[in-house]
Structure 1
Amino acid sequence: MASFLHAARKEGICVEYSESFYRTHPRSRIQRVADVIRRSTAKVVVAFISTGDMKILLEELSRKPSPPRQWIGSEAWVTDRDMLRFSFLAGAIGFGIEKSVIPGLRDFLLDLSPSKVADSPLLTMFWEEAFNCRLVKSEATDRSVCDGTEDIKMLQSSYTDTSELRITNMVYKAVYAIAHAIHNAVCQKTDSTTQCDMFTKLEAKEVSKNNDVLFKLHVYVIK
């Protein structure tokens, strides 16, 4: 936000206000930010904010009519389809990372069973929240014990929806780019065979020397 304010002022753009908040702040803090937006004469609102925080602000703004504003959003929230329920966001523009389908990811994510989930505390928490049941009987909650009929393939959530992968896809590309760079550093191709020294100790600069893929990734990100 500081970088944006600096750039805006250099371009002669008048910034009427700059407000910050977090979702754990008292509602009075959120109300104050919403009131600043309502009372302002600025017609454009630039929001560098996460999806969760943005929803809280929009819900507060929807309680009272507000003059029309042109919203400009960051990747974090402007590509979230759930924002469509706020009609006053119509016409919002922003910057979004290109989405892509990662081959095999959906099948991998859906290959979960109660037995696999029980071995992971993180997956256990996810499973119990998703199906509103407990894998292990406990008196600390009124949830019933999962009966084994839970089918993750029938679950409709952001976990199972792999059609909107943006930042995830960039991580996927980055991991493969580094893997290819390491492969090029430790492997030598001779004729039709490839010999790899799996015990080679590599420095970061040695990996960067084999950076054809990394360079292509860098250009893609900037673009």
Structure 2
Amino acid sequence: MVKHFGWTWIGAVRSDSDYGNYGMASFLKAAQAEGICVEFSEAYYRTQPRSKLERVTNVIRRSTARVIIAFMASGDMKILLAELSRQPPPPLQWIGSETWITDPDILRYNMCAGAIGFGVPRSVIPGLREFLLDLTPSKALQSPLLTEFWESSFNCYLKGRTDNKEGARECDGSEDIHKLQNPYLDTSQLRITNMVYKATYAIAHGIHGLICNGTQCDKTIKFSPWQV
């Protein structure tokens, strides 16, 4: 994309994680081969001290590059943009990695107007919405995570809990998950989620191929991860 638009003087920032470091390393190698000059390459991770965040944003503000590659996780990018908003730099052309370029929350940062990048395609996971809507109080009680989700969504505590929240009302059965308005039921933006879904099924098919022969399966068979 940088080559396509003819940009030869750019800045780069990344998440200080395997995702950001390996992704940026690949980009910098390709950029060098194409004669693209990188004025700076900075890294930040959300748990690092604020002083590190301030240093990275000051590098961006002082930079003469007007095109910035951001190979960052969405959470790291939001923190970076929030800090930059305190003292906005001159207009920048942002190029984003797939984790944040399709995140609608990024739209609240005006400095990202016109940002471009590559996104993982949206997909529909068959049966997922129906599975989510099938959640009931009894099923929620079987999982601490789902119990917390149900109680926080409907502001009540499930019958059978031994550690009831003081002052909270007991869930009375009138709670309707079909009418819930929160991200739980939004299955329209399943991008990374769908990649995980496909990877899980790929592993499952691999294991099936190792332990099954036709309709006969032997779950006692020993195998190594590389065989999957």
Q: TM > 0.5 between the two?
A: yes
Q: Is the 8 A contact 2:123 2:194 kept in 1?
A: yes
**In the alignment, is the contact (CA less than 8 A) between 2:157 and 2:171 conserved in 1?**
no
Which residues of 2 match residues 35-74 of structure 1 at below 5 A? 35-74=58-97
* Equivalent-residue separation in structure 2 for 1:12 and 1:207 (angstroms): 41
The percent of aligned pairs where both chains have the same amino acid is 60
Structure 2 SS opposite 1:20? strand
Structure 1 gaps, min length 5: 189-195, 209-223
Is the strand fraction higher in 1 or 2? Answer: 2
Give the distance between the partners of 1:54 and 1:143, measured in 2 at CA.
Answer: 38
The SS at the match of 2:114 is coil
* Higher RCO (CA-CA < 8 Å; seq separation 6+): 2
Seen in structure 2, the aligned counterparts of structure 1 residues 184 and 21 have a Cα distance that, compared at 3 Å, is: closer
How many pairs were matched up? 200
Is 1:27 matched up with 2:50?
yes
- Residues in 2 aligned to 1:29 and 1:133: alpha-carbon distance in whole angstroms: 41
Q: TM-score, normalised by structure 2?
A: 0.73
The answer to whether structure 1 residue 158 and structure 2 residue 183 are counterparts is yes
Q: Is contact 1:137–1:144 with CA below 8 Å preserved after alignment? A: no
- Equivalent residues of 2:123, 2:191 under 8 A apart: yes
1:45 and 1:71 in contact (8 A); partners too: yes
Q: Is the 8 A contact 1:133 1:143 kept in 2?
A: no
Task: Say which SS state the counterpart of residue 45 (structure 2) adopts.
Answer: coil
**2:201 aligned partner:** 176
* CA RMSD between the two structures: 2.9
Alignment of 1:127-142 (within 5 A): 127-135=150-158, 136=161
What is residue 87 of structure 1 aligned with on the other side?
110
User: CA, structure 1 residues 160+143, in 2 after alignment: closer, same or farther (shift >3 Å)?
Assistant: farther
Q: How many angstroms does 1:162 deviate by? A: 0.7
Describe the shift of the 1:182–1:73 C-alpha distance in structure 2 as closer, same or farther (beyond 3 A): same
